[in-house]
Amino acid sequence: MSCNLPVGVFDSGVGGLTVVKEIMHQLPNEEIVYFGDTARVPYGSKSKETVTAYSRQIVKFLQTKKVKAIVIACNTASAFALETIAKEIPVPIIGVVKPGAKTAAETTRSGRIGIIGTEGTIKSGLYNEFLHNTNESLQVFGKACPLFVPLVEEGWIHDPVTKEVASRYLAELHEKDVDTLVLGCTHYPLIRDIIHEVAGNGVTLVNPAYETARTLQELLLAQGLLADENAIPDHKFYVSDGAEKFREFANSILPCEMAETKDVNIITFD
């Protein structure tokens, strides 16, 4: 395996770009091949079997791009598919849930942690599992927030409607008196301001993206796979539908202009 091969990153759509942004920041020499499954987005309301089948197809696609490592930049797919797929492929693969849980455990002072995410991520109970593995006494409260993704995709990032929806969703966690809140869906950092405002100053928000990029760095370092320090990456973006729309969204999130986004029929990689 050569250290100048790319890192594969995938998500159900655009949300994973918040993780890409963090990888670009922390590991500026790493080349990224991104895949967004825009033809089948969202994953958050779908079953474990379906999300695993979709993730498997994408991993096969990324392997054709000769990636040296894979990051599942989607909480739902990390929760549902990572464990299964890690056993099936020779390429090292990480998700966002474990890094997110690690940061939350390190952040909390009161030991009361809230997790917000999609229905799938919350139902999986995987954040609880990782947090309890770290420290059995932690109290973890999950809340699914299905409207956050469509609100972000509608672009209502600083909108009173989004604030009202956030107040509704977070009321339960407020009652539980959490001091740490995990943004357990890669779309949520895009409405971080509103979530912060509603949650209040006493609650620290955790974005798993930061620790995920760190975990990737440790993994590449341990395996002697970090890119050369003078490498100039040529990132590539693929989607299963609507390349042009994706490109617009991505250019508003990422620090660099994307050269090109290609449409791929992912089913042919099954």
31-50 residues in contact with a second copy (CB under 8 A) are 38-41, 45-47, 49-50
List, in sequence order, every residue forming a beta bridge with 32; answer none if it has no partner: 7
**Closest CB 168 distance from a second copy, rounded Å:** 7
For residue 76, state whether it binds a second copy (rule: CB under 8 A): no
Is 147 a residue that touches a second copy (CB under 8 A)?
Answer: yes
Q: Restricting to residues 187-246, which ones interact with a second copy according to CB under 8 A?
A: 240-242
Annotated catalytic, 185?
A: yes
CA distance linking residue 257 with residue 159, whole number of Å: 27
Q: How far is the CB of 176 from a second copy (least distance, A)?
A: 21
In the beta sheet, which residues pair with residue 114? 141, 181
DSSP characters for 211-243? HHHHHHHHHHHHTT-PPPTT-----EEEESS-H
DSSP annotation of 251 = H
Beta-strand relationship, 180-184 and 204-206 = parallel
Binding residues for a second copy, rule CB under 8 A, total 26
Residue 165 as a binder of a second copy (CB under 8 A): the answer is: yes
The verdict on 154 binding a second copy (CB under 8 A) reads: yes
153 binds a second copy (CB under 8 A): yes
Supply the angle between the helices 126-134 and 97-107 in degrees, to the nearest 10: 50
Q: Among residues 3, 74, 145, 256, which one is catalytic?
A: 74
Q: Is 4 in the site for a second copy (CB under 8 A)?
A: no
Is 145 a catalytic site residue? no
Smallest separation (angstroms) from a second copy to the CB of 241: 5
What distance in Å separates the CA atoms of residue 149 and residue 11, rounded to the nearest whole number?
13
Q: Could you give the CA distance from residue 258 to residue 247 in angstroms, rounded to a whole number?
A: 7
Type and span of the H or E element at 116: strand 112-117
Least distance (Å) from a second copy to the CB of residue 169? 10
- Which residues form the catalytic set? 74, 185
List interacting residues with a second copy (CB under 8 A): 38-41, 45-47, 49-50, 146-147, 149-151, 153-154, 160-161, 164-165, 168, 240-242, 267, 270
